[in-house]
Amino acid sequence: MIPALNRIDNLSRFPRPHARKEYSMSAAGYSEEETRNRRIAGLSWQRGTEAMSKENWDFAVEMFSQCVKLVPDNLTYRQTLRGVQYRKYKNNKTGASMAFMKVNSLRGKVKKAKSAKNWREMDRAAEEGLSVNPWDAQFNSDVGEACRELGFDEVAVYALQKAVESAPDSKEHLQRLGEMLEQKGDYAGAISCFEKIFKMDPLNGEARSRITQLRADSVIDRGGYDKAKTTRDVSPPKQGYEESVRGNASSNPNEVVGPGVSVEADLQRMIRKEPENVANYQKLGNFYQRENRLDDALKTYQQALEVSGGNVSIREQMEDIQLEMIKKNLDAAKSSAAKGDEQGRANAVRLAKELLDQELEIFGRRMDRYPADLRMKYEQAQRLMRVKKFQLAARLLQQASKDPRLEGPVLLNLGKCFLAEKQNALALRQFEKAVQKFDSNDDAEAFVECHYLVARLYEEAGDTAKSANSYSEILAVNYDYRDALARLQKIQEAGGG
């Protein structure tokens, strides 16, 4: 409990996020506990700002940390805490001395909370890490992810921006920030994030598609924000604009829904007003897709395709939705099959084949359209292997090997193609090169699979020493992997040791 506070005359020069009277808290719908937390946070804020004025950074950090714990959705508290943390460490960009030794256990706490989807605990653990190094990109990103799940959108954007500032070349942080900005309606900011990703990775087809979609989205005002004369004209609810649409839309289908109340109605109105504007159809289709109304999305994109005269980008959006619909049906069939439904099992087999056939056809066209996209060649090669077209797959894999980021997986799959074609010597050569590309910690599954294939080929060739060595590498990572232990024991017994 915070001790009683003396009145401080010069506090007026500091921002006060909760300077309203007590009655306003209950009027805002806060529970008794929330009201108490906010009152205590207000007292901590006063103590913290007093400490700031005296440059007592340790105590200021302690007080503002208390504010963040009590009122985690308050952006001002987070910003101020981060500012005094910077001052505490004299803007050294590295935090406490030997910080890297202090944060390992905290990273474990974050990971554990994330796996349990305990977002509050994840947020607290990440903030604890930032108290050691407020510039740590991963901890900032963890705060952003947790706050996004908790619905603290403003805090999430701020934390992810800090993560990108600390690690500007991280595609993961940029993607998270871009997705969060898109959710907030900041299309320009989201486009900037995905453009940076695309600049770093010109073969990233997902980033290219996102940029195209976001540019279409940015054409249309999202709920009348740009039309508002003042901030009072707009009051987006906490749960998000699309959810407010479902809550506020009239239950009477014959009643006209006014502008800004329903995203769907606004977009349909714009389509009627400008039936030749393709972007309006795309925006509506994207809205349906986000709402998981895939049939409506497909119909809308079909209209967009006709209006555009056959735009390739729109056609690809339709293809993606068609694949998404098959995957959704396949998941449902698998769920039924898992419960013992024979019809569900038959449907799952049929839909899996249909999905594979569709992907082969769609990826084949896109390979012709984007010949420089090596990742697409790799994806298509994997699907060709599933239909046992190993020679065609090998050709694509050899082309994809020019991308150094795909080198390990490409070599592993190329070896499998040669193995399927009974070219054991060629297969072994690929596996020997591939095994050096995988790390037992980061790529454990590929690491043990590659060693296993190498070991089997060595064993078949009679080179028991190399075979035993590879089996030992497997057991050091996964003691129960296939029959590796039994084969190693057999080799050792045959060798007398």
pLDDT at position 201 is: 85
Hey, what amino acid is at 256? Answer: V
Residue ranges of alpha helices (H) inside 370-483 are: 374-386, 390-400, 407-420, 424-434, 444-461, 464-477
Q: Quickly state the pLDDT bin for 257 (edges 50, 70, 90).
A: very low
pLDDT at position 370 is: 86
pLDDT at position 218 is: 67
Tell me if 107 sits within 8 A of 140, measured CB to CB.
Answer: no
| The pair of three-digit structure tokens given for residue 385, joined into one six-digit string | 């292997």
pLDDT at position 245 is: 35
Domain ranges, ordered by start, for the chain: 1-88
Cα–Cα distance for residue pair 470/142, rounded to 1 Å: 38
* Beta-carbon count within 10 A of 391 CB: 10
Q: Quickly state the pLDDT bin for 232 (edges 50, 70, 90).
A: very low
Instruction: Give the residue from 430, 380, 443, 376 showing the smallest Cα distance to 403.
Output: 376
pLDDT at position 185 is: 79
Tens-place pLDDT, residues 113-125: 999 999 999 999 9
Whether the pLDDT of residue 479 is over 80: the answer is yes
User: What is the chain's length?
Assistant: 497
| The pair of three-digit structure tokens given for residue 235, joined into one six-digit string | 């009051």
pLDDT at position 10 is: 36
- Work out the average pLDDT over 161-176: 92
- The rounded percent of the chain whose pLDDT value lies above 70 is 84
Tens-place pLDDT, residues 5-19: 333 333 333 344 444
> In which residue are the tokens 């080179």 written?
463
Residue ranges of alpha helices (H) inside 167-204 are: 171-184, 187-200
The reply to whether CATH 2.60.40 applies to domain 1-88 is: no
pLDDT at position 226 is: 40
Q: What is the SS3 assignment for 478? A: coil
Cα–Cα distance for residue pair 367/377, rounded to 1 Å: 7
Looking at 70-177, which runs of residues are DSSP E strands?
Answer: none
pLDDT at position 95 is: 86
Instruction: Give the least confident one: 7-11, 222-226, 270-274.
Output: 7-11
pLDDT at position 437 is: 92
Whether the pLDDT of residue 24 is over 50: the answer is no
Report pTM. Answer: 0.52
| The pair of three-digit structure tokens given for residue 324, joined into one six-digit string | 């998404």
- Work out the average pLDDT over 429-447: 91
How does DSSP classify residue 93?
A: S
Contacts of 334 by beta carbon, 8 Å cutoff, 6+ apart:
344, 348
Tens-place pLDDT, residues 27-70: 344 578 878 888 898 899 989 989 988 899 999 999 999 999 99
pLDDT at position 151 is: 87
> In which residue are the tokens 């974050």 written?
110
> In which residue are the tokens 């995957």 written?
327
pLDDT at position 215 is: 77
